[in-house]
Structure 1
Amino acid sequence: MDNYLQEGIAAAKAGDKPRAFDLLTRASATPATSEQAWLWLSSVVKDDEERLFCLNNVLRINPANVAAKRGADIFRQKGIFPAMPVYPEPQRKAPVQSFNPEPAAPQPAPFSFRYEDPEQTQASPVPVVPPKPQQSSYESDWKKQEVAGYYESAVMGLANKRSTKAMEKSLISRGASPEIAKAVVKEADDAVCKARREEYKKRMKRGFLWAVVGFIISCCTYQFADSLGGKFYVFYGAVIFGLIDLVIGFFGWLANL
């Protein structure tokens, strides 16, 4: 797998960006070469938004990468937001078909009346089947990474209380089809709602425990004061805060069903 990285770096230095993009994308799928692949890939893409996306991936793998951190800081200071790099479509050449003339059928001898089967004398035409376009592994891996980038953006936007319609428009503006944008936003919305339900569930449990503990301690101090003549304490704060947390957690949990 190191060959992808080495050949990709060589192609990038030679200025062959489509080939470098191809090889470095393959190398980015391998953990051992992913960091350097993303770093070199940032020199191949054409826009600053795409470069920032590559540098963010480098920092996600190794936050201590000085070159990636310095470059990412410069782009962020300019107010640039990361965007998924676009794969440059290679120019396809028309397939060259070699001409193979069929050998001429032997001429019959003079005054020869031999019968020959036409199916044997005539060569059957060979059907030319056009090759089916095959999607290479790096293109499929790139599309998976592209959808993953859409998903991360949708989760971050919905977590910041942006509407699903706004997120769908945002993904479409970044190049996603309406069907993919709708599916990604729906999946991200389900994940965000699930996380919020868990948070409100924890808050509901915490409020319930506070209210119960405050009530139990109040009852115990009342029994102590009644039997031994001590002072009676009512833990209003624990009970009140517990009930507030319980109510907020319950309604928050219902709102995210």
Structure 2
Amino acid sequence: MISERPPTPHELLAFYLEAGVDCALAEEPSDRLSEVEAEFVPAPQRIAPLTTVPAAFPATPQPDLAPAPDAAIESARELAPKAKTLDELRGLLEQFDGCALKATATKLVFGDGNPQARIMFVGEAPGRDEDLQGIPFIGRSGKLLDLMLAAIGLDRTKAYIANVIPWRPPGNRDPSPHETQMCLPFIKRQIELVDPDIVVCLGKPSSQAVLDLKDGIMRTRGRWFDYDTGSRTIRAMATFHPAYLLRQPIYKRMTWQDLRTIQAALAAATKT
């Protein structure tokens, strides 16, 4: 029998990345083969039946349970409007325990850019790089977003950037509908506090959550929608997410058309 050669460290790392393992749980490796086996525990001896029954057994303490999804959604809807500033809203999110994603994430990814900007970009959820640094759109898709902004004369000093979900889903999986509904009141309040002239939703999940759209991004991109904050109506548009453009660069041309439309709307608003 011909024995296969052991994998190289590079091959092992490549396998882990393909399997979705992108972070370590400890600073030092653990050699499981050298660990001492657990001592054998003999089976408990049979106990004779009780002759008398105790009057009452002490109650077993129950662990603290996370609120039910529906209760967490209602809690978020009550909390979010109480924030009068972005700092207060960030503080509410840091204290909010209704979303289980908070327990698995490294950092809260709240927002970046200029809070007084006239345009706000909203993505879906943070990725690995964003989770580690607590800043939205700083990985590969973030670099592409920066190029998209520069193409129409913007940068992070002239735009504000956030996500519907402020915590990274494990393994970059799609957020569940309940997770999205839990976080939706907070991003809506974030939009109200920034109060931009234009909101740009990046990708289908963001546009469906924020703008309450049912169609996919192909049908909704490049079109203007009205977003009602309760105090004013903001113009909103959906376009492709930078992460999608990295996988499907053929759609960059359509995105450029959307960006030109947004640029023209900003210029027209400045003249009025």
TM-score category of the 2 structures, normalised to the smaller one: under 0.3
Higher radius of gyration, 1 or 2: 1
Superposition TM-score, scaled by structure 1 size: 0.27
Q: Which has more strand, going by share of residues?
A: 2
Superposition TM-score, scaled by structure 2 size: 0.26
